[in-house]
Amino acid sequence: MKVSGLLASDNRPQHEIESWVFSFWDKNNIYHKMKSSRGNKGKLYFLDGPPYASASSIHLGTAWNKVLKDALLRYYRMLGYDVWDKPGYDTHGLPIEILVEKMYNIKNKKEIETSVGIERFVNTCLDVVENNIKGMTENFKQLGVFMDWENPYVTYSDDYIESGWYLFKVAHDKGLLYRSQRVLHWCPRCETTLADYEVSEYTELEDPSIYVKFRVKGSDNLYLLIWTTTPWTLPANAFVMAHPDMEYAEVEANGERYVILSSRVEAVMGEAGVTNYRVVRTFKGSELEGLEYAHPLEDIVPAQSVLKKYHRVVMAPEAVVATEGTGLVHSAPGHGDIDFEVGSKLGVPPISVVDNQGRLTEDAGKYKGLYFRTEANEAIINDLRSRGALFHIGKVRHRYPICWRCKTPLVLKTTEQWFIGVSKLRQELLRQLDNVEWVPSWAKSRIASLVTNIEDWVVSRQRYWGIPLPIWVCNNCGHVEVVGSVDDVVRLGGRRPEHLHRPWIDEITLRCPKCGGVMTRVPDVADVWFDSGIAFYASLGFPRNKEAFNRLMPVDLVLEGHDQLRGWFFSLLRSGVIGFGSAPYRRVLVHGFVLDEQGREMHKSLGNYVAVEDILKKYPRDVLRLYLLRNTTWEDLRFSWHNIDVTARDFTIMRNVYAFASMYMSLDGFDPKAVTLDSVRDHLEVEDRWLLSRLNSYLDEYRKRLDKLEVHEAARIVRDFIVEDISRWYLRLIRRRVWEESDTPSKRAAYATLYAALKTWILMAAPIMPFLSEYLYQNFIRPAEPDMPESVHMTRLPEPDFSLINKDLEDKMEIVRKITEYALSARMKGGIKLRRPLKTLYISPSSQVVQDAVKELQGLLAQAVNVKEVKVVSSELLNELREYSLEPEFSTMGPDFKKLTPAVIKALQSDAMAAREILQKGFYDITVNGQTVRVERRHVRITAKYPDWLLAEETPYGTIALDRRISEQEALEGTVREIIRRVQYMRKQAGLSVDAYIELWINGDEELLAATKVLEDYVKSETRAAAIHYDSPPEGVKSSEWEVDEKRLSLAIREVKRNQQ
């Protein structure tokens, strides 16, 4: 079959073409057909990192994420893999709860139960995520992402929840699940705990910076001076920590003595404005051990009645920092992690004086009910001041942790939670990292750092919308039962609830297997990172459905942003080792964030947010895809409207390439089945052999890059091959061959070469630009090869033909292309258009490699630069053409030549050989007033330039020079080409087909008419003019006025019917 000419006349905007492609895919059920046409290379289990369903539209970073995934999955399908492509959605957690709280105008957690009710609240959470999933799914489909959108995994389903219970059961059976009291970050707004890896957001806050005096027992005026920015923790103070090996000082000031770290005395006194002080003595911190003190608030804080027996100095070097504070650290074991650890060793109870809403408790006495960071701080400072215990008060601005969900400042407090003891698995986790390929390699070191410092996993949360912990506790004997399935619930005397969420699961009681008592479920839900962390098996329905798990595991590929090294990748790793003893994935690809042009995160509040839908209103989907995919995958992308616009221009070039091929191949009846590469192999020109080599080199490199997950490099190859190699080079070289009227072996070779390149390019472009590639495939390839698969996305990617690769030719062509760029730049600087032929391009090559390239490809270079000949010359020859001028250096010439100086200057400037002689020998002897003087290089400034008729450029490839002197014949050719260009424009404006013949009327300047008459046959062949008339056109034929070489010209055309030729 012959190539269709449709693409030559299809001027529809890209948006319309993409709509057509969507319709084609839907009408022909392409996705499902593609899925059913599995290859023979085996399974590829891709696990989709589930985006969080907190909004119905996606962020540009999420778009990049999904497009990356889609490109790789399309590539693997084209290689013949059976790709598992189930998408997922992360649906539980506080962000959803907070959205629902706003809908009901809920002010605090208690109102969820008292005003709304848990059932209604949870059902609304479900409605919100289902609506958001619909919106996000449509967004992903609009980007052309081919995944199994009809069957996504969602973390809120009962099946998924039951899979989560399985891991809790395994952890319990392995002795890893336990309940314990710890100091953890707590959100007083959300009223739940946060794990250490969730404390990732900070903000600048101002807090009081106070120095407090703790009086040493047995002394009236000796004080331990402590520093704190959290006065609200002072009611819970139990002891003071010091460093045994650091030097401390006893300092006298204000009639009192203070114990301070020696290196901090000057800074502390300076901050407090104390200038009159003296150091009484210095000593090791170990001398302070056991020193008892009196708490300044112990008589008004009930908690102090329990804690005062621990009031003494203890050695804790891990808590002391020599660059801030006083070297004496106030410790409240109920409100600090180090404090808790030290206190546990000492047997100090970790009393917390802050409740779940951030207000001080009864244990804080008069401060009960005050909010910790504001009201409590103010009241405590006032009491310290009135009691003479406040040494100094100031302010400090520092980074303070906030809740990543609601942005409320967090509080460290003692809380009882459920943990999985993953710290026991540290070494195994580290070993498993070696079994994974990390792309880029630095990702491994980042996650290894997290694993090295891993703490036990806080898996419980005190909320509602999440996987309920499958833990029941006997009300009678305290026995703990962890169930792994609904079957376990039924076995233990319970029933299957309507839903596995709260509140339905809360109603289920079990029978205690130990004492027969009633067991009730703990009210907590799981950490939301637990949900996504089990996706590798829960999305497959394991353990109820073991078949898919056994067939697909392990995961072959996961890819997400680099923040997921401490998030999802970390959670998957933990869950894999807990449940199955191994990392669940084989390969991990990390990508960057999308930022604004200044490198800031995109937020609506900053006014720099760019919505995906706004981009797609302005630019086609494939433009956005290529723009995103060309960015180095693991580096952050700085979004730029200018750069995406530049990308859009490339698409015009791509379509023009296919329009060119479609037009000329269809006019000549080219049939790729009849005219194959093998059939024209003996007629291939050097540019054909180069393009075929380039094609196969790029195909080989393209596959290698994608195999290594370097999507950006593959995307750049796809763009560069069509835009740079084909459009801007190869088509320029073959244009005259395809314009020939007769059917020649050379033309057939050009068509066969171009068709092979364009066909393969479509297949290579398919993963990157699925819409354009499908459109081109359906309108360029399939009309000529109807036996090809129904869709480009059902094809197999070809293997490179290494026999066609000629690296030596590619290297030489690259040199010639670079030289061409410099030559065209020289033309531009000289104001000489490319259409105007020049006589000679001189090249003085910088190396033998350059010389060989120019000599072998001399004809191509001449054609590309539009010169009659290319001459390789020596640097000496070009230097001979230079014109030199001398300027005197008066600072050296005057002292040496004195009164002769003016005469020497005049003689030098009138001597044509002087400058050249000085450059070659370093001096020049000249006779002045009968006296011979020697002029040296230091006496003059020498400048050299080429004559005006030579356009020269110094380049890395040597000196290139264009002879701009134009002969009469060359001038005529240039003039006529300008006329031809205007006629061709008029043909296009008139909508004439490429093979249509015309009559041409030319009238105007006599020189222009004369030039046309001399080269009339050439004008006729280039414009398909059956006849040329040198007068005004007849009535009814419209003429157009033009300017050529600053001369006026009138042109008119009329189509000639074939029977009139």
CA 175 to chain centre: 41
Same domain for 977 and 856, yes or no, is: no
Same domain for 201 and 259, yes or no, is: yes
Q: Which residue has the tokens 């008419």?
A: 1009
Q: How confident is the model at residue 1061 (pLDDT cuts 50, 70, 90)?
A: low
Looking at the predicted structure, is the pLDDT value of residue 918 above 70?
yes
Q: What is the pLDDT, as a whole number, of residue 755?
A: 98
Q: Is 171 a domain residue?
A: no
Q: Is 13 a domain residue?
A: no
| pLDDT tens string 230-261 | 999 999 999 999 999 999 999 999 899 999 99
Q: Which is nearest to 376 in space by CA: 356, 353, 360?
A: 360
Same domain for 651 and 736, yes or no, is: yes
Whole-number mean pLDDT of the chain?
93
Least confident of 351-360, 730-739, 852-861: 730-739
Number of domains, the chain = 7
| Mean pLDDT along residues 76-96 | 96
963, 991, 1023 - which closes a domain:
963
930, 963, 996 - which closes a domain:
963
Q: Is 433 a domain residue?
A: no
Same domain for 918 and 978, yes or no, is: no
Q: How confident is the model at residue 355 (pLDDT cuts 50, 70, 90)?
A: very high
Same domain for 867 and 899, yes or no, is: no
| Mean pLDDT along residues 790-797 | 96
Q: Is 651 a domain residue?
A: yes
Q: What is the pLDDT, as a whole number, of residue 917?
A: 81
| Mean pLDDT along residues 121-145 | 97
Q: Look up the CATH number of the domain holding residue 49.
A: 3.40.50.620
Same domain for 202 and 275, yes or no, is: yes
Q: Give the integer Cα–Cα distance in Å for 913 and 924.
A: 9
Range of the domain at 817: 813-879+949-963
Same domain for 511 and 561, yes or no, is: no
Q: Is 187 a domain residue?
A: no
Looking at the predicted structure, is the pLDDT value of residue 1060 above 60?
no
Q: What are the tokens at 703?
A: 């596959």
Long-range contacts of 23-27 (CB under 8 A, 24+ apart): 24/774, 24/778, 24/791, 25/774, 25/791
Q: Cβ atoms within 10 A of the Cβ of 136, count?
A: 24
Q: Is 1001 a domain residue?
A: yes
Q: Is 604 marked as binding a ligand? A: yes
Q: Is 318 a domain residue?
A: yes
Q: Give the integer Cα–Cα distance in Å for 665 and 751.
A: 7
* Under 8 Å between Cβ of 46 and 73: yes
In DSSP terms, 258 is beta-bridged to: 223, 251
Q: Which is nearest to 485 in space by CA: 405, 545, 575?
A: 545
pLDDT greater at residue 903 or residue 440: 440
Q: Give the integer Cα–Cα distance in Å for 987 and 389.
A: 95
Q: Is 176 a domain residue?
A: no
Q: What percent of the chain has pLDDT over 70?
A: 100
In this prediction the pTM is: 0.86
Looking at the predicted structure, is the pLDDT value of residue 943 above 80?
no
Same domain for 73 and 102, yes or no, is: yes
Sheet (strand 480-482) strand order: 480-482, 471-474, 518-521, 510-511
* Under 8 Å between Cβ of 589 and 709: yes
| Mean pLDDT along residues 147-172 | 98
- In SS3 terms, 288-332 reads as HCCCEEECCCCCCCCCHHHHHHHCEEEECHHHCCCCCCCCCEEEC
Q: What is the pLDDT, as a whole number, of residue 46?
A: 98
Same domain for 958 and 1029, yes or no, is: no
Q: How confident is the model at residue 814 (pLDDT cuts 50, 70, 90)?
A: very high
Q: What is the pLDDT, as a whole number, of residue 730?
A: 97
Q: Which is nearest to 814 in space by CA: 720, 704, 711?
A: 720
pLDDT greater at residue 907 or residue 763: 763
Same domain for 645 and 671, yes or no, is: yes
414, 431, 457 - which closes a domain:
414
Q: How confident is the model at residue 637 (pLDDT cuts 50, 70, 90)?
A: very high
* Under 8 Å between Cβ of 192 and 462: yes
Same domain for 360 and 489, yes or no, is: no
Q: Look up the CATH number of the domain holding residue 230.
A: 3.90.740.10
Q: Give the integer Cα–Cα distance in Å for 166 and 538.
A: 9
Looking at the predicted structure, is the pLDDT value of residue 692 above 80?
yes
Looking at the predicted structure, is the pLDDT value of residue 919 above 90?
no
- In SS3 terms, 982-1036 reads as HHHHHHHHCCCCCCCEEEEEEEECHHHHHHHHHCHHHHHHHHCEEEEECCCCCCC
Q: Which is nearest to 540 in space by CA: 530, 527, 550?
A: 550
Looking at the predicted structure, is the pLDDT value of residue 1059 above 60?
no
Length of the chain: 1061
Looking at the predicted structure, is the pLDDT value of residue 1053 above 80?
yes
Q: Look up the CATH number of the domain holding residue 941.
A: 3.30.720
Same domain for 1036 and 924, yes or no, is: no
